[in-house]
Structure 1
């Protein structure tokens, strides 16, 4: 192995160490990461800058975080380990909308992934998705006809996005679309990225019925881009605790179900 290859391998190993640490804790200071990796402060800053450019982590003054903000969506890796009990509860509730023979469209949310893990127990289904982890989950299931949405691969979302993906989504008409998003208020849903908004909106429009799945941490928040009004979804499933007044307001717009994790 050449010196250049050795340096590259060392950098990749160190950056993976940083990512694993931040994903586990949610955030970390530069000083903390310097002590963790045993390299200089400047080297840690360069690593952080590279990871931020790749959309894996988000920089702030003095440190780095994997937590979402109004303009930054957490990576798929981080979301996989967040609010898992709530996502499992949402998945079980969402299964009530699924019957054998249906065609489903699932987005690249980790909540949809939790549902995908339950689909083999339903029976024959056609599943359309742009999320790599859902395709991995279902690719060996004989009763599932699996259709992958192609496009530009996003490492942050671990899914296929972009214009090609959008055009492919618009070519489908499915029985049921199930999606999640980053934030919602009493009247509107949101996401941090305009490109993802276009995909999720097209997915909702592709379904004869649409279901929005949201854990309680996303409720009462907004993000940079408006997705769709709450009333645009046929059903909304939430995990508690959720403010009773907010739920009452939501129910004036659409069917709302609150489940317990």
Structure 2
């Protein structure tokens, strides 16, 4: 192995160590990561900058975070390990709306991934998605006709986005769209990124019926960009606990189901 190859391997190993640590904790300081890796503060700063450029982590003054905020979405890797039990409960409820022969469109949320894992139980289906992990989950299932939405690959979301993805989404008309997003209040849904807002909105519009799945951490919050009014969705499925007053407000606008976990 050359000196250059050895240095690159060491950098990759160190950055993976940083990512694993931050994903497990949610955030970490530069001092903490310096002690963890045993390298200089400047080296840690360079690693953080590279990981942030790749969309894996989000840097702030003095540290780095994997957690979402009103402005930044968390990476797919972080979301995969958050509220997994709630997402599975939401997925089981969503499955009640699916019948053999239907066409479905799923977004790049980890909640939709939990739903996708249950689809082989139903029978022949057509599934359209831009999420790489859903395509990996379903590509060997013989009863599922799988259509992948292409575009620019986003490492943060582990999915395909951009103008070409948006145009492809608009070309479909499916029986059911299943999506999640970053935040919901009593009247409005939100996401941190305007490009993702456009994709999710197009997905909802492509479905004869649309369903929004939200774990409790997203309920009663807002984010930078408005996605759609609550009444734009035919069904909203929430995992508890959710305040009774908020549920009552939502039920004035659409069908709402609260799933105990």
TM-score range, shorter chain: over 0.9
- 2:76 and 2:58 mapped to 1: Cα distance? 14
Counterparts of 1:106-255 in structure 2, within 5 Å, are 106-255=106-255
1:244 Cα shift?
0.3
| Superposed displacement of residue 77, structure 1 | 0.3
Partner of 2:61: 61
Q: Report the CA distance between 1:236 and its aligned residue.
A: 0.1
Q: Distance in 1 between matches of 2:112 and 2:59?
A: 28
Q: Partners in 2 of 1:31 and 1:162 — Cα distance?
A: 37
**Aligned partners of 2:182, 2:212: CA distance in 1, in Å?**
11
What secondary structure does 1:256 align onto?
strand
Rounded to whole Å, the distance in 1 between the matches of 2:183 and 2:225 is: 10
SS in 2 for 1:113: helix
Instruction: Report the alpha carbon displacement of residue 33 of structure 1 after superposing the two structures with TM.
Output: 0.5
Give the deviation of 1:228 after TM superposition: 0.3
Distance 2:194 2:49 in 1: 23
TM-score by length of 1: 0.99
Cα drift, residue 8 of structure 1: 1.3
Secondary structure (helix, strand or coil) at the match of 1:146 reads: strand
Cα deviation, residue 2, structure 1? 2.0
Q: How far, CA to CA, are the matches of 1:221 and 1:53 in structure 2?
A: 27
Q: How much has 1:128 moved relative to structure 2?
A: 0.2
Task: Output the CA distance in 1 between the equivalents of 2:192 and 2:13.
Answer: 30
Q: Residue deviations 1:57-115, cap 9 Å, x none?
A: 11122111100001110000000000000000000000011111000000000000000
For 1:108-165, what per-residue CA distance to the aligned partner results, in whole angstroms no more than 9, with x for missing partners?
0000000000000001000000000000000000100000000111111000000010
Partner of 2:78: 78
C-alpha distance in 2, partners of 1:44/1:181? 32
Report the secondary structure of 1:97's partner residue. coil
Following TM superposition, by how much is the alpha carbon of 1:258 offset from its aligned partner in structure 2, in angstroms?
Answer: 0.2
Matched with 2:9 is: 9
Q: Which runs of 4+ in 1 moved over 3 A?
A: none
**5+ residue gaps, structure 1:** none
Q: Give me the whole-angstrom Cα distance separating, in 2, the residues matched to 1:189 and 1:40.
A: 43
TM-score (norm: length of structure 2): 0.99
Residue 248 of structure 1, CA deviation: 0.3
Q: 1:40: Cα distance to partner?
A: 0.5
C-alpha RMSD over aligned residues: 0.6
Partner of 1:46: 46
Between the aligned partners of 2:103 and 2:67, the Cα distance in structure 1 is 33
Distance 1:69 1:54 in 2: 18
